[in-house]
Amino acid sequence: MAFDDVDFEGRTAFITGTSRGIGKAVALDLADRGANVVSTGKTVDGREDLPGTIVETTEEIRERGGDSIWCQLDVRDDASVQTAIDETVDAFGGIDFVVNNAGAIHMAGFEDTPPKRFDLLMDVNARGAYATTHAALPHLRESDHAHVVTFSPPMPARPAPGKVAYALSKYGMTFIAQSLAGELDADDIGVNALWPVAAIESEATRHFGMGTPEDWRTPQIMCDAVAELFSRDPTDCTGNAFYDEELLAEAGVDDFSPYAIVEGSDPGPMSAQLFDPAYER
């Protein structure tokens, strides 16, 4: 675990989409740093074709000595989101961190993206982040160190041909984060967006054929970026749309090679260029 001096003992993190991938990695990392972790998502029962459940994530946290509960929810269902928030407060007394990680992915052209699929992307990504943060807001206001992060990219203000629905839904998450930062500034709640520069190894990365292992980094880079973000004063760090490399460089990281899946490889900015083809390091 990098950033070993970052300690979140006594804090409570509510994370959406923790069955696998970045969400699970962040859940484990925050728990290792002392935070109480609420593992949420739809998947309670395992599937052979899609490993991982929110229950398994909670069990793994407990096996590592951490404190965690799991709450089944669908971010499209306001009642289930509210129930999960209520169960979190009952278990841990409050909420300090909200990680809007749950996401739907569909990268296809307009003709191959029917309105029903458009609605799914918007409901899970943009509306899901909105609904989760809205339900958690009263408890975030009670925290003396409240942070919200959405896993979504900076908005380059240029069209996204070939993936208009997905891009719009992810930009929506960033727009929500940066807008709420201004609206909640008086409440001392930090609200930011965070996105990886390189592709992160996950089931989604493999499923959508985003390069090869030489192009990927481990989820630990996002874990470290979240740790750095949540360690900052929320009154000073809010309204940003960070790339992981940018945030970690500000923290003094100048060697990103340990994050590479394949030792000696130098993953390119595939994830950043997914939304901003002109992006250069």
What residues act catalytically?
166
Which two three-digit tokens encode residue 30? 């925050």
Cα separation, 200 vs 222, whole angstroms: 9
Cα separation, 27 vs 36, whole angstroms: 9
Closest CA to 55 of 74, 70, 37, 66: 70
Cross-strand bridge partners of residue 41: 72
Tell me the backbone φ, ψ of residue 69, rounded to 5 degrees.
-125, 160
180, 174 Cβ separation under 8 angstroms: no
Burial-class residue 199 by CB neighbours within 10 Å (0-12, 13-18, 19+): buried
From the CB of residue 251, how many other CB atoms can be counted at a distance below 10 Å?
16
Instruction: Give the start-end residues of each E strand in 180-252.
Output: 189-195, 199-200, 216-217, 241-243
